Every structure is written in C-alpha cells, then in structure tokens.
C-alpha cells in the first residue's frame, strides 16, 4: 500500500486596517502616484519592511502593538 503524500497549505491572514477619511485620501493619492491599486500599494508597504529574524518580528509587533486600526483574522 502506498503512503499518501499530504500537502500542507498555509493560508495567509486577512489584515483589516481602519482608516479615517483623511488617511483614506492620503492612501489614494500615494497609491495613484505609485501607479498601483490601494491594496497593492499597502501590500508593497508591508513587504518593504524586512522581517527575517524573530527579533525583527518582535520589533515590528512592538511598533504596531495597541494600534486598534489593525485587525488580523485567519482565513477560513
């Protein structure tokens, strides 16, 4: 009998950011200047911040801790 090979899929999380009307306007202008959609521009901003080690992740989390505009929910 052959053993089954299992593929593990890691689902990425959904990040929700609550912005004020002013912040939405700033995001729209910056993303338009960059020639990107707003969501693509936000992904680029997040990916530009290099997180390689656990210490990098801890530092990022410290900077964003308590920011009630951020909510991360796992995908189902």
Q: Quick check: 18 and 73 in contact, CB under 8 A?
A: no
Residue 15 CB partners (closer than 8 Å, separation 6+): 46, 70, 71, 72
Q: What is the pLDDT along the chain (76 residues), one digit of tens a residue?
A: 555 555 555 656 677 778 889 989 999 999 999 999 998 988 888 888 777 888 887 887 787 777 666 666 665 5
Q: Where are the domains of the chain?
A: 17-65
Rounded to whole angstroms, how far apart are CA atoms 42 and 26? 12
Q: What local confidence, expressed as pLDDT, does residue 2 receive?
A: 55
């Amino acid at each position: 009998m052959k053993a089954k090979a299992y593929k593990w899929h890691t689902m990425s999380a959904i990040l929700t950011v609550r912005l004020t009307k002013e912040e939405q306007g700033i995001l729209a202008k910056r993303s338009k200047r960059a020639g990107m959609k707003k969501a693509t521009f936000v992904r680029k901003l997040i990916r530009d911040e290099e997180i390689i080690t656990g210490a990098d992740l801890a530092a990022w989390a410290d900077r964003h801790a308590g920011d009630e505009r951020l909510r991360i929910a796992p995908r189902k």
